[in-house]
Amino acid sequence: MRFVLTSMAAVILGFSLSGCSNADTSSAPDNSMTATTPAAGEALDITERNANNRFKDTLSKSLKAAGINAKVTNVRRTELPNMYWVSLDGLPSVYATADGKYIFQGDVVRLDKNNVHNISEELQSGDTKALLASVKQQDTITYKPSGNTRAVVYVFTDASCPYCHKLHEEMANINAKGIEVRYLAWPRAEQFVPAMVAIWCSEDRAAAFNTAIKGLPVNAPQCKNPVMEHHSLGQQIGVNGTPAIYSVDGKYLGGYLTADELAKRLGL
């Protein structure tokens, strides 16, 4: 199995495996952009559905003609004139113009009086929420609070990542705040896949993860495991480094965070 993205989609859309990242270690500023206004319209009538289907077909042909092997799974109009939000199978969502000639990624911000709204954040959060809801809990490594659970987060992690180690050291404090943590496997490169597979194939995954982050080898028989499924899921969401923390409603909370920072971002 090769752990390399070789399609034109990977080149054009800028997807790549990333090292352990701490780019989002600081707390969100008080004036951080949030999405508070719906970016898509109400339920579609038959005319709108037909228009969306025609656009989906047009864009699919444009992608194929450009040598991009990416299946269009869903399209939605946005509040931006002649602009769609496009879901792609196995890849992060993109914006596309109504003529199907241009696609792009990144934040789109609406400027309101005395405020700004990140439209992209809302759209991506909706997609991410649905994808995380599809994850079977038995396929995660879960750390539960001893008392009441006040919030649940998903964390894409790699046992070789130093910032994942730092986050793991916070686990007792995180759980003490009533936060349940569900680890998803996200090996950052091909050489880290065997270790993550061994962890997920261990009888006691949590103990195996503890062993791995200490730099000790984990031995386990091969088994059917969700490691590559988790990695593909992360790619589709847009994960590009570990740790990557998400709330159950699909909001990206950050990379490494202390227990206090995480609780604050969850509004606890």
What fold is seen in the domain 136-265? Glutaredoxin (3.40.30)
186-195 residue pLDDT tens: 999 999 999 9
For this structure, is 110 an active site residue?
A: no
Looking at this protein, which amino acid is placed at residue 209?
F
Confidence of residue 168 (pLDDT cuts 50, 70, 90): very high
The three-class DSSP label of residue 263 is helix
Separation between Cα atoms, residue 96 and residue 82, nearest integer Å: 9
Alpha-carbon distances of 230 from 39, 92, 154, 188, rounded to whole Å = 28, 14, 11, 12
- CATH no. for 33-130: 3.10.450.70
Provide the 8-state DSSP code for 27: P
Other Cβ atoms less than 10 A from the Cβ of 22: the count is 16
Among 24, 77, 127, 161, which one carries the catalytic annotation? Answer: 161
Among 164, 182, 205, 265, which one carries the catalytic annotation? Answer: 164
- The DSSP bridge partners found for residue 91 are 88
Q: Is 178 left (phi over 0), alpha (psi -120 to 50) or beta?
A: left
Among 77, 188, 205, 265, which one carries the catalytic annotation? Answer: 188
Question: Which residue ranges make up each domain of the chain?
Answer: 33-130, 136-265
Q: Is 92 a residue whose pLDDT tops 60?
A: yes
Alpha-carbon distances of 42 from 38, 148, 174, 239, 246, rounded to whole Å = 9, 36, 38, 29, 26
Lowest average pLDDT, out of 31-35, 77-81, 134-138, goes to 31-35
For this structure, is 164 an active site residue?
A: yes
What value does the mean pLDDT take over residues 47-71? 88
For this structure, is 223 an active site residue?
A: no
Q: Contact 12/6 with Cβ under 8 angstroms?
A: no
Lowest average pLDDT, out of 104-118, 159-173, 178-192, 233-247, goes to 104-118
The three-class DSSP label of residue 94 is strand
36-47 residue pLDDT tens: 333 444 455 677
Among 20, 127, 158, 265, which one carries the catalytic annotation? Answer: 158
Containing 208, the helix (H) or strand (E) segment is helix 205-213
Query: What integer best gives the mean pLDDT of the chain?
Result: 84
For this structure, is 265 an active site residue?
A: no
Q: Is 173 a residue whose pLDDT tops 70?
A: yes
Q: Is 184 a residue whose pLDDT tops 70?
A: yes
Lowest average pLDDT, out of 28-37, 88-97, 115-124, 150-159, goes to 28-37
CA atoms within 13 A on the CB side of 254: 21
What value does the mean pLDDT take over residues 195-224? 95
Burial environment of residue 73 by CB neighbours within 10 A (0 to 12, 13 to 18, 19 or more):
middle
126-158 residue pLDDT tens: 999 999 999 999 999 999 999 999 999 999 999
